[in-house]
């Protein structure tokens, strides 16, 4: 599949904006209107999923709890490195850069910034989605985007990165 020159960056930015808005708006709407106090919950699909308001002062599974400044700095460094690499990759490959990579960058950036905004302005991340049928930490849409974006990025590096490099070096032809 041939990519248009700006398809990957356009997708990355569009996905970033959508994820960020979805994350911030759902946190604000659901928590403010339905579960305003920590520990409040509402059943969405009994026995499967509910919304319960949790203040997460750490990262995934509460790791590094109570260290918001450290988590903000780490988020900024990771975002800086990811965006720099993406821009350099885009310049290097142009229209040959995989759309998957752009999608993964948009998802990761949107999720990271969504949670970072909570950390900066509140000192914690607002989590509210809870699976009742398994023992799993409460999460939010930013966490979903981060997880899916990371999986897509792994798929990109495992299956598509080398193909792009070969296209760049050989113009799409085998060099024998």
Ordered per-residue pLDDT tens for the chain, 176 residues: 454 556 778 899 999 999 999 999 999 999 999 999 999 999 999 999 999 999 999 887 777 787 889 999 999 999 999 999 999 988 888 767 788 999 999 999 999 999 999 999 999 999 999 999 998 999 999 999 999 999 999 999 999 898 888 877 876 544 32
Task: Count CB neighbours of 144 within 10 A.
Answer: 16
2, containing H or E segment: none
Torsion of Cα atoms, 18 then 19 then 21 then 24, to 10°: 170
Question: How many residues are listed for the chain in this entry?
Answer: 176
Q: Which of 23, 40, 118, 143 is catalytic?
A: 143
Instruction: Return the domain boundaries, the chain.
Output: 7-165
Single pTM value for the model? 0.88
Q: How much is the pLDDT for 174?
A: 41
Instruction: Please name the residue that has the structure tokens 């024998």.
Output: 176
Q: How much is the pLDDT for 172?
A: 53
User: Is there a catalytic annotation at residue 174?
Assistant: no
User: Is there a catalytic annotation at residue 118?
Assistant: no
């Amino acid at each position: 599949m041939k990519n248009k020159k700006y398809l990957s960056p356009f997708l990355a930015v569009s996905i970033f904006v959508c994820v960020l808005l979805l994350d911030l708006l759902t946190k604000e709407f659901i928590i403010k209107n339905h579960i305003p106090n920590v520990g409040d919950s509402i059943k969405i699909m009994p026995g499967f999923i509910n919304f319960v308001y949790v203040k997460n002062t750490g990262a995934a599974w509460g790791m590094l709890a109570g260290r918001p400044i450290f988590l903000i700095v780490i988020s900024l460094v990771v975002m800086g490195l990811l965006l720099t690499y993406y821009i350099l990759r885009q310049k290097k490959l142009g229209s040959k850069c995989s759309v998957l990579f752009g999608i993964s960058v948009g998802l990761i950036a949107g999720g990271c910034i969504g949670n970072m905004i909570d950390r900066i302005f509140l000192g914690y991340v607002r989590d509210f989605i809870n699976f009742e049928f398994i023992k799993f930490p409460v999460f939010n849409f930013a966490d979903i985007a981060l997880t899916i974006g990371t999986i897509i990025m792994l798929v990109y590096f495992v299956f598509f990165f080398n193909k792009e490099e070969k296209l760049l070096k050989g113009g799409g032809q085998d060099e024998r």
